[in-house]
Structure formats: structure tokens, C-alpha cells
Amino acid sequence: MDTTIVAKACTFCKKIKPLSDFYKHRRNGYQSHCKTCQLANVKAYRRTERGRSVSNAASARYQQTARGQVINLAYRQSTHGKAIRAKATQRFRIAHPDRIQASVAVKDAVRRGILMPPTSFQCKMCDNTAEHYHHHKGYEEEHKLDVVPLCHVCHVSIHHPTPSSSVGL
């Protein structure tokens, strides 16, 4: 007598589906939700604040691995990745014209010799070689050239602070 199970009822949608519609489970063989319901549950969870934070943290951890960096670089160099980056840059330029104008003013001042290149200074936060100028007083017209030299890591930590980073200029 062969008692092979070929179908199972999803506990979420209550439909009877073939086993191929369920993800495998290490303890009892198959998940209790079908793949369709499982996907809907994951999408709903990722739309919550906690789901976004968990997903973003996992993505950040993956990006720190060697494989994640290789995959990210390949994506950024792909046609699709370049198109997405170009759209994001365009949205930023539209949303922040003051920042673009301030950046252009600093680059122009460096080109004209009014400001020294940032690489000729040490970072004001960590003493590494500076790579960027930071508009520490804001981007208004009167502060366009009020800048401090920073390395890339410190500049990113100011614009994208994490709870563990302490920013102080």
C-alpha cells in the first residue's frame, strides 16, 4: 500500500495544491503556506517599518561580503544599473538644486585657484587624506565656499549617519 502524498492544503488560502506549490521544510517536509501565499506574506512584511529595517540591514551585511561587492559592481556596470543610477541622479538634481550649485561653485573655485584641491589637506575628522569638501554651514549662497576637507568615509558618515557613528564638526 503506497501512501505517497501528492497534494496539501495551504493553511492561509485553504486551497488544496500539489506539493510542488510548497517550499520544502527541514522538519516536516513542506511549509504550511503555499508559495503564492508565502510570497504575499513576505511582501506585506517588507512594507512594514520593521520589515524594511530588517531587509535593509540584511542587504547592508551582504554588500560587505566579497560576493556582494562583486555582484553590486556588476550590477552598477550593467545597462539596467546605469539607467537606474541616472534616474536617481536626475531626481536628486531636481530635488536639491542648491546642493548642485554649491558643488559647482566649489569645483569652480578649485579650478580658478581660489580654493586648494581637497587632496592637499587632511580630513578634519580622522586625519586621513581629504577627498571632498563638505558644506558644513549649509548650501545657501553666502555659504557656498564655507567648506571643510573630509575623507570619503567621514563625508558619508555625516550625510548618512548610523546610530553607532558619532558625527561632530
Element (H, E) at 88: helix 79-95
The whole-model pTM stands at: 0.59
Domains of the chain: which residue ranges? 7-47, 49-95, 97-169
Confidence of residue 164 (pLDDT cuts 50, 70, 90): low
Confidence of residue 163 (pLDDT cuts 50, 70, 90): low
Of 6, 14, 66, give the one whose Cα is nearest residue 36: 14
Give the model confidence (pLDDT) of 6-38 as tens digits.
899 999 999 999 999 999 998 878 999 999 999
CB atoms within 10 A of CB 155: 20
Question: What distance in Å separates the CA atoms of residue 155 and residue 2, rounded to the nearest whole number?
Answer: 67
Question: What distance in Å separates the CA atoms of residue 56 and residue 71, rounded to the nearest whole number?
Answer: 17
Name the packing angle between helices 49-63 and 66-77 (round to 10°).
100
Give the model confidence (pLDDT) of 87-124 as tens digits.
999 999 999 999 999 999 999 999 999 999 999 999 99
Give the model confidence (pLDDT) of 145-162 as tens digits.
999 999 999 988 888 887
Give the model confidence (pLDDT) of 54-77 as tens digits.
999 999 999 999 999 999 999 999
